[in-house]
């Protein structure tokens, strides 16, 4: 408060100097000094408050926090924002409405592990050793995540991010393929393929729940456990100026369809006439949506929501046998038809992505890898297959993503597959597929036949041959990558 005495001037001399030299204590001079002092003190208090607010909102002009939410087996039509009329998902809808909705978002595979491998490597899953589901029993496991390729969290760590994976891992039980070994600073979740029970968190009687490398046995529904861990992580990281990347992979709505009983009753009370089978799945999805809402609220309460890029998607389409809704699309989980691979996809980032925007550009899970890298201010390897959609999200000129030739593959055991691969390839509006290793290839014009009902394999032999050659080339490319541990 001595500052105004020295700074305020009277007759071109500091007021304090005039008072000392003359011994005159003019009341107007003193009042001016006091007013100036008060103004500067209030300004100082305001700047302190502004600084504190800036700390709470975690440098909104700096590197964004990144939250990637992955659902498990969520059908294309099983959110209200994607046309579901018997389901209410206000929190997933909140992400969709506050950012960009993709009508042609795709998983890289119609089953779990390959899609996750694609997201975390930015490559086609069969080229990183994961053409099929990695399971806890070696005799029925169809993939080994190659050590040759760096995962997304490693690149983000170099950009000074703290990285965390919470929820379902499903990319191997080997020590070298644990989340911590593959670049995540923090892991809290389930290492295995699926849970036999959402409350006991076991698979074949074995506990695969971990916090980092330590076995834990938390109580409660898995969705609620993962949500709670995510909230705790966000709260802890919000106290740091270091940006974070949180990969939140829910187990829901994968089988067993086991929502809390009160959620089933809530759905049945609202949706008169709905079968209990459908109500159970709807309840499991709405229960997950509620958890997502709690996570979004945690971002807001921690003051970091405005500086967080949020991406939501699923690892494959919904499973028809448990009552999933894949909208107007043919097929479901395990199928190469659209219902097995097309999924909800949305991204939100306040101030960067226009709310309510919609894109019909074809985007795959592997495209999230370079997108997240670019948002974090780091460059992905040039050799990856994925393409960044960050320019598209932020309203800038985007690459011609729809001109790509895109591939899907799955290897599986069982009577239907016998350890064989089956594929799909898409270029523009054309899609070539076989839905099991022992079915003939089918050709569809997705622009005029989005339901994939009219097989043009015999009537358009030129396109059939062209896509067959490209598919063969991709099969050769991936063929040299081991899908089992060397």
* Residues 395, 157: Cα–Cα separation, whole Å: 27
To which H or E segment does residue 428 belong? Answer: none
Choose, from 162, 170, 201, 221, the residue flagged as catalytic: 170
Residue 170: active-site member:
yes
CA dihedral (111, 223, 288, 352) in degrees, to 10, reads: -80
- What angle in degrees, to the nearest 10, is found between the helix axes of 276-301 and 261-270? 110
Q: Which of 127, 109, 124 is nearest to 478 (CA)?
A: 127
Q: Which of 129, 147, 174, 145 is nearest to 482 (CA)?
A: 129
310 bridge partner residues:
67, 348
How far separated are the first and last CA of the chain, in Å rounded?
A: 73
For 213-241, the three-class secondary structure string (H helix, E strand, C coil) is CEECCCCCCHHHHHHHHHHHHHHHHHCCC
In this structure, are residues 166 and 159 in contact, taking their beta carbons and an 8 Å threshold?
no
Q: How far is CA 141 from the centre of its chain?
A: 25
> What contacts 334, CB < 8 A, 6 or more positions away?
110, 111, 319, 340, 410, 412
Choose, from 112, 201, 254, 287, the residue flagged as catalytic: 112
In this structure, are residues 417 and 437 in contact, taking their beta carbons and an 8 Å threshold?
yes
Residues acting as catalytic residues:
112, 170
């Amino acid at each position: 408060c001595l500052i105004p005495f020295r700074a305020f001037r009277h007759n071109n001399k500091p007021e304090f100097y005039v008072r000392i030299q003359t011994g005159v204590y003019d009341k107007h001079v003193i009042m001016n000094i006091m007013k100036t002092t008060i103004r500067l003190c209030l300004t100082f208090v305001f700047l302190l408050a502004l600084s504190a607010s800036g700390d709470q909102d975690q440098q909104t002009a700096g590197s964004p926090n990144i939250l990637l939410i992955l659902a498990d087996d969520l059908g294309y039509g099983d959110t209200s924002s994607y046309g579901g009329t018997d389901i209410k998902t206000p929190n997933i809808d909140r992400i969709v409405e506050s950012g960009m909705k993709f009508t042609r978002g795709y998983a890289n595979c119609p089953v779990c592990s390959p899609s996750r491998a694609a997201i975390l490597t930015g490559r086609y899953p069969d080229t990183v050793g994961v053409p099929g589901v990695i399971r806890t029993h070696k005799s029925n496991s169809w993939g080994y995540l190659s050590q040759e390729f760096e995962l997304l969290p490693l690149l983000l760590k170099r950009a000074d991010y703290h990285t965390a994976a919470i929820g379902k891992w499903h990319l191997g039980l080997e020590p070298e393929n644990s989340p911590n070994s593959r670049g995540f600073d923090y892991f809290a979740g389930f290492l295995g393929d699926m849970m036999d029970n959402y409350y006991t968190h076991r698979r074949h009687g074995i506990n695969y729940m971990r916090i980092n490398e330590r076995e834990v046995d938390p109580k409660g529904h898995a969705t609620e456990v993962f949500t709670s861990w995510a909230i705790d992580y966000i709260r802890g990281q919000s106290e740091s100026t270091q940006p974070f990347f949180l990969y939140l992979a829910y187990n829901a709505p994968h089988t067993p369809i086991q929502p809390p009983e009160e959620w089933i009753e809530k759905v049945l009370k609202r949706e008169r006439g709905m079968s209990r089978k459908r109500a159970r799945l709807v309840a499991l999805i709405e229960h997950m949506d509620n958890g997502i809402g709690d996570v979004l609220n945690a971002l807001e309460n921690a003051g970091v929501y405005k500086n967080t890029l949020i991406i939501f998607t699923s690892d494959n389409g919904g499973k028809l046998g448990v009552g999933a809704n894949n909208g107007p699309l043919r097929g479901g989980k395990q199928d190469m038809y659209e219902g097995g691979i097309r999924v909800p996809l949305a991204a939100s980032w306040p101030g960067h992505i226009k709310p309510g925007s919609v894109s019909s550009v074809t985007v795959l899970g592997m495209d999230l890898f370079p997108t997240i890298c670019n948002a974090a201010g780091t460059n992905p390897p040039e050799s990856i297959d994925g393409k960044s959609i960050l320019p598209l999200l932020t309203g800038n000129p985007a690459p011609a993503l729809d001109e790509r030739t895109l591939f899907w593959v799955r290897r599986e055991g069982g009577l239907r597959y016998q350890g064989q691969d089956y594929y799909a390839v898409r270029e523009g509006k054309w899609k070539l597929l076989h839905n099991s290793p022992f079915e003939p290839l089918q050709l569809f014009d997705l622009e005029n036949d989005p339901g994939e009902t009219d097989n043009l394999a015999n009537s358009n032999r030129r396109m059939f041959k062209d896509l067959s050659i490209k598919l063969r080339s991709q099969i050769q490319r991936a063929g040299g990558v081991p899908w089992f541990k060397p």
